[in-house]
Amino acid sequence: MVDRRLAHLALLVCVGLFPALASALDATYEGVLEPERRGSGATTIPIVVVLRDLGGALEGTVKTSEPLKASAPIGSGSNIYGDCKVNVDLTKTFTLRLYGRCDPQSFTGFYLLLDKQKRATTRGNFSLPRKAPEPVKLDTRRSSTPPSCLKANTQCLIACPREDETAGFICSNRCRTKLQTCKTKANKSAPLLDAD
C-alpha cells in the first residue's frame, strides 16, 4: 500500500516538474504531401492526420484525397521526444510512411509512398499545421434562452485547445463574445412585462 502511494506521489512530482509529459499529443493535422519530383507524374496529395499519443505509441487515422482517395487507421506509430513515425496501409496496394517532428502545433517531415502493384516509390516532404477545432454552432431554430446560452458557452469552452495558451485564450474570447450575443438575443426575444 505504501509503495503504491509513493509511486502515485512520484508520478505527481514528475507531472509537476515536466508539464510537457503531462500533455500527451492529441491533434488533427491537415495539409498536402509534396513529392520530390513533380515531373515524373507525381502530384501533391491532400492529407488529414489524426494523432493520439499513448505514452510513446501513436494511434489515429490518416485520410487522403484525390488523386489518392483513401482512409485508414494507423498500423503502427511512435513518438520519441517529438520524433514521430507513422505507418499506414491506405489501401491493399498503397502503404504510406510519415516520419518527422511532431508537436501540438504541427507535424513536419518526410514521407514514403509505396505502390505495391507498380513496385514504385514516391518520396517527398510535408508540413501539416494543426487543424483548428470546428466551431460550435448555436441551434438557431429555437429561441435563445439564458440556459441554452450557458449550455452553448460550455460546449464552446470545452472545444478550446488546452496545449497552446494563445490559441486557448483566443478561443475562450470567441466563446465569451458568442455568449454575449446569445444573451442579447435572449433578452430581445423575451416577452416584455406590462408595467402597470
150-177 in b/e form (b: 16+ CB < 10 A) is: eebbeebbeebbebbeebeeebeeebee
Give rounded-to-5 percent helix, strand, coil for the chain: 30, 40, 35
Q: How far apart, in whole angstroms, are the C-alpha atoms of residue 76 and residue 109?
A: 17
Is residue 122 within 8 A of residue 21, CB to CB? The reply is no
- pLDDT by residue for the chain (196 residues), tens only, comes to 555 555 444 544 444 444 444 446 788 999 999 998 765 667 899 999 999 998 888 999 999 999 989 999 999 999 998 899 999 999 999 999 999 999 989 999 999 999 988 888 899 999 999 987 666 555 544 556 778 888 888 888 787 777 777 777 788 888 888 888 888 877 776 554 444 4
Give the chain's largest Cα–Cα span: 86
Domain ranges of the chain: 24-129, 146-189
* Per-residue pLDDT tens over the stretch 31-41: 999 998 765 66
Neighbours of 36 (CB within 10 A): 11
Neighbours of 79 (CB within 10 A): 21
CATH 2.40.128.120 fits 24-129, yes or no: yes
Q: How far apart, in whole angstroms, are the C-alpha atoms of residue 152 and residue 174?
A: 12
